[in-house]
Structure 1
């Protein structure tokens, strides 16, 4: 669509997006494919409502701080497209810079405002506002969050009747996705008569979005994903099994420490006086390379550096990493896909750690199979559990990256995955898991499935513990059209 023909920014919306915005039902649920513009469209509705109704408040709650702030940024772009001047922008954190987000907000000249918060019970409780729950099925605890926010949206005496917009891709029929599935089942699949809380449901598969004009090559996308189950759930909006957050925010907080750092004095890599262990998650273009450095201090592992290398050639990465590897006692390296080439070079230079083959060099080549993920990510979780034996920096990017990793259940099978974002693919989380493996004195080859109470025996930092279950304006029109 040519921008010269646009008379209102809402004309940027594709038909299925326009239908969503035009639906003024009080309770509205959108089950949308990824990359179909659900946050983009919902931001348009919130900004339009704030524009035409003075002193209106909308609150956006998302599974993570990053997602909440990205949704708020879409609202800012829509406000600019509507030529609405913002009276104020604020970000409030719990205890100063880099601590957990309490809220971000934009305020309009007419007194309306839009807030963005992480979707936790303590952050949503007490607000009286129209509500956007984005990626609701992926909240840490959707039921607890819903219970916390429900009183404020059902009390008409607190600022009038409130609207609720629940938008998400499916996340199974049980676990965190259960409440979303129930809403769709009760209101769309098997409607129940006489319900006072009726939800207007919109389902947008990637096929529907493309049919309505979304410029995506479905065949190329499906081939690139190469995951039939993920395709069915993430893009065709089918409700499959369930997932859990590997590291909830509360658990991450127990490991955050001022003694841990994202960057460090290069002098720590000179000589072999310190017991340094590295985890390297290799990336080249879509994802960064992350090198996580741990120092063993007594029985605690303290983060000294979280090095992120973006869009850097392999020779240049080698130059940056070489002296770090030379100083380390052991290194676990992501020997998967494009990482194989550099892994071979590292082994040639520093030797391979492969005791089963009587090789006792420095580099352990780690291929990311499902079985290997079941080794390193439960051990990562263990490191954060009481007594916490790892120290990580107080840093927003590190916290968000760790929180994004999920345990995915598919029938009786399970694995560990994280969504791709502009920041990467939980690359810091993977690098930390590898660094912890490098710090362990005993390599475990088998872990029980979730729910087992079998004891894992063996020496090392985490050996000999029971695993059990792991989880009990107009210039902005171009940007808007690109975002759509």
Structure 2
């Protein structure tokens, strides 16, 4: 059965019986499919086998469990599906479990150093480069396979820069690790039916292409928000579909044809901001954008709306309808610096929580601090088919709405420059 549905590089992974095995694979090459299939076959063939499988977040662990169910159904194995929620460190954690008639179990968990403890069994780490606290997770998980030499440890991921435990294991893990590297070109040579050059041209981002598809651990020195800060801010998805209007703040970055329109709502809980809504509108008529904005404004305490170019009319109309709850913000280099620097400060202070979302993650990481030949600093990202860091700026505007009460950001930026000049005169 496996030989009929697997490509050669997936079969090589499946047939490799090494105790310690690590895979550096391109996006969309079927690594989760191959990884879960190996675990399912092992669980079916060896009664009483346990596999503990960790993913970056709750949604990803659920998707991994669904892949395992598909394998079991294809093999006509009957399994009992179990789902439970428990609290660990004050956080609700969903545990998914598949129990087979032969007493084997597959447990699927979101990555967390605390929930990973207490088991003895085989381990599969899915997209390990994107796990929060990867060193702590590794310290908690590795002892799981200690006591029995038949227990296996599997790691698969695309890279996320030259840092974290996945990078260390791939580069310095030693000869005991069996390594499997699959770039998009490797996969195509083995029969994956895609056109890599078409993908590359459509992506229009060489940095992302090299890391996500060519499996290069690229340095993030130019990135304004490094992967480490972004991954630390990622939280398990909050099941709540609503928020308290008295603690909610909205940011809207406006686009029409080339760029996206993004609405972001942050809710303040204590001194931490949780991203409750991230809504993306692509090539949406202004009338529909305005209707969506006006529907959200009664549900937030304050809002900042991009009033640059295309957004000026939307911002003015919202200000007229809702008064000083709405602040129009025109993007100048000084204003963007103010917004970007505040956003980074809150990420550094761990006062922002975001869901595990690849598009948001890549938007946040795409912004660069660029020093021009004349010595000026600007914050910008390459424009591509996926937008122009629109999620970054919507989030920055929402945070600005929450943290400022003294008038538009452009006025304060001018005041700071005047004050700096006044000080320099003495």
Please tell me the TM-score bracket, short chain as reference: 0.7 to 0.9
Cα distance, 1:275 vs. partner? 9.1
- Residue of 329, 339, 344 corresponding to 1:378: 344
- Residue of 339, 360, 363 corresponding to 2:328: 363
Which residues in structure 2 correspond to 1:224-235 (within 5 Å)? 224-235=202-213
TM-score normalised over the length of structure 1:
0.64
Segments of structure 2 that go 5 or more residues without pairing to the other structure are 221-226, 372-378, 382-386, 417-426
What whole-Å deviation, never above 9, does each CA across 1:396-437 have from its counterpart, x for those lacking one? Answer: xx64459974875999999999xxxxxx99998864442111
Query: 2:223 — aligned with what?
Result: none
Q: Cα distance 1:174–1:361, how it changes in 2: closer, same or farther (>3 A)?
A: closer
The DSSP-based 3-state class of the residue aligned with 1:61 is strand
The DSSP-based 3-state class of the residue aligned with 2:228 is strand
TM-score normalised over the length of structure 2:
0.72
Query: 1:25 — aligned with what?
Result: 18
Query: 2:250 — aligned with what?
Result: 278
Cα distance, 1:237 vs. partner? 1.2
Query: 1:150 — aligned with what?
Result: 142
Which residues in structure 2 correspond to 1:77-476 (within 5 Å)? 77-94=70-87, 99-156=91-148, 161-183=150-172, 186-187=174-175, 198-241=176-219, 243-246=227-230, 248=232, 262-263=241-242, 277-280=249-252, 289-292=262-265, 306=277, 308=279, 313-314=284-285, 315-325=287-297, 331-333=303-305, 341=310, 343-350=311-318, 362-365=327-330, 374-381=340-347, 384-385=350-351, 399-401=355-357, 405=361, 431-439=394-402, 440-441=404-405
Find the aligned partners of 1:107 and 1:429 in 2 and give their Cα distance: 42
1:43 has 2:16 as partner: no
Segments of structure 1 that go 5 or more residues without pairing to the other structure are 1-7, 188-197, 269-273, 353-359, 393-397, 418-423, 446-456, 459-484
Q: How many residues align?
A: 383
Cα RMSD (Å) of the superposition?
4.7
Q: Cα distance 1:183–1:72, how it changes in 2: closer, same or farther (>3 A)?
A: farther
What whole-Å deviation, never above 9, does each CA across 1:293-330 have from its counterpart, x for those lacking one? Answer: 658x9x97988974747789433342232254488785
Find the aligned partners of 2:170 and 2:344 in 1 and give their Cα distance: 28
Q: Cα distance 1:86–1:175, how it changes in 2: closer, same or farther (>3 A)?
A: closer
Query: 1:15 — aligned with what?
Result: 8
Find the aligned partners of 1:77 and 1:140 in 2 and give their Cα distance: 28
Cα distance, 1:28 vs. partner? 0.9
Find the aligned partners of 1:165 and 1:139 in 2 and give their Cα distance: 15
Find the aligned partners of 1:303 and 1:21 in 2 and give their Cα distance: 40
